[in-house]
Amino acid sequence: MPGPNQRAGTSQGWGIIEMDYRRLGRSDLNVSAVCLGTMTWGEQNTEAEAFEQLDHARAAGINFLDTAEMYPVAPRAETFGRTEEIIGNWLADRGGRDKTIVATKATGPSTRFPYMRDGKPRLNRAHITAAIEASLKRLRTDYIDLYQLHWPDRGGNAFGALGYAHDPRADETPIEETLAVLDDLVRAGMVRAIGVSNERPWGVMRFLALADAGRGPRLASIQNPYSLLNRSFETGSAEVAVREECSLLAYAPLGAGTLTGKYLNGRRPPGARLSLWPDNRRYQGAQAEAAVAAYVALARQSGLDPAQMALAFVFSRPFVTAAIIGATTMDHLRDNIAAATLTLPPDVLAGIESIHQIHTYPCP
Ligand SMILES: NC(=O)c1ccc[n+]([C@@H]2O[C@H](COP(=O)([O-])OP(=O)(O)OC[C@H]3O[C@@H](n4cnc5c(N)ncnc54)[C@H](OP(=O)(O)O)[C@@H]3O)[C@@H](O)[C@H]2O)c1
């Protein structure tokens, strides 16, 4: 255990840890428990900074990168596709493509991308085909290890929406059509495994049932938000993940950085995500602030770094296969990787549960 207000690390230096590898779903991919998020590269981080992160991550045993055609964030026409390009440049420069598990995503329907596929991206045959061809070119590779659907091509509650309003007339791409395209991509050797993101239990079970009926490849993973600020995955999807061996890849494990405590009491550190984009409301507001304050206080009373406590909680959940960490500095990266091997003592876990009883899902 680290001493008061110390961070977990090792005697050899930050980030040199024994990395854990897990099978992704029922696929033949063995991924590191720490997946490196990339969505700041090309916006908050330069290519040189991304290369430094990638080199360090590889040296620390991370073999798993998560990106998306729409990255970096905040997305805009001028930077569209830049993150995939940076990864492609690094793979071309450093080699080791076969040692690297590259996950990317096809964008679902949204009106926020006027520059993408006539401004109406969908998960139908034409759009997925166009999306993957462009991703392969940017990534400078001829296959994607894990191809994910960024969000469903149907309405419903994702990205903080509460409740459920069903629209029987909604314009949706049938899951059957999407899975048939993915089937062709897998058969063509362009994709090794498929996954969904921001998906709910019904969608996951539907994909799995179709695969079991021989209608396409089996989902290997679900990439959903999971953190101390949003444990909604536990109520329905965790059971699906475990029983169906469909791996949870937990994104935003620090609630966009809020769980570090750096935004408490109105602080807005220069250059930090929510200082740059204050309209990014998902992890802000009175309920989020109260929950973060309670978790940060618990960490400090327990002699832990708040970010590492939050990450260690996610890493240690039995239904989490990998946590996708995000970093904009090398210090973040080293601290966050080290959190993967931090064991939270029973009193800290009990404290977390007590806070969760009061501040349940402040940021769905
Ligand atoms: N599928 C999806 O819809 C979806 C959505 C979101 C993310 N993702 C994936 O998940 C990855 C991680 O998401 P995320 O970036 O939101 O994760 P996060 O862990 O919640 O937040 C990471 C951010 O927090 C700050 N931070 C990280 N470690 C810190 C530390 N030790 N001390 C202080 N600040 C620290 C950094 O931002 P600042 O320096 O700006 O503060 C960093 O970029 C993304 O790169 C992406 O691959 C997927």
Over the chain (364 residues), the average pLDDT of each successive run of 10 is: 48 59 98 98 98 98 98 98 99 98 98 96 98 98 98 86 88 97 98 98 98 98 98 97 98 98 98 97 96 98 98 98 98 97 97 98 94
DSSP 328: S
Would you state the pLDDT for residue 15? 41
Mutation test residue for ligand 1: of 39, 151, 331, the one with most atoms within 8 Å of CB: 39
- The answer, yes or no, to whether any atom of ligand 1 lies below 6 A from the CB of 45, is no
Q: Which helix (H) or strand (E) holds 93?
A: helix 82-94
Would you state the pLDDT for residue 7? 61
- The answer, yes or no, to whether any atom of ligand 1 lies below 6 A from the CB of 260, is yes
Q: Is the pTM of this model over 0.75?
A: yes
Q: Ligand 1 atom closest to Cα of 66?
A: 47
Would you state the pLDDT for residue 14? 43
Q: Which residues are CB-neighbours of 142 under 8 A, at least 6 positions away?
A: 136, 189, 190
Ligand 1 centre from 341 Cα, in Å?
Answer: 19
* Pair of tokens at residue 115: 């520059």
Ligand 1 centre from 258 Cα, in Å?
Answer: 9
Annotated catalytic residue 71: yes
Would you state the pLDDT for residue 3? 42
Q: Please give the full DSSP string across 150-163, using - where no structure is assigned.
A: SS-SS-SS-TT--S
Q: Which of 21, 71, 164, 283 is catalytic?
A: 71
Q: Are strands 21-23 and 191-197 parallel, antiparallel or unpaired?
A: unpaired
- Helix, strand, coil tally for the chain in percent (to 5): 40, 15, 45
- The answer, yes or no, to whether any atom of ligand 1 lies below 6 A from the CB of 69, is no
Would you state the pLDDT for residue 9? 56
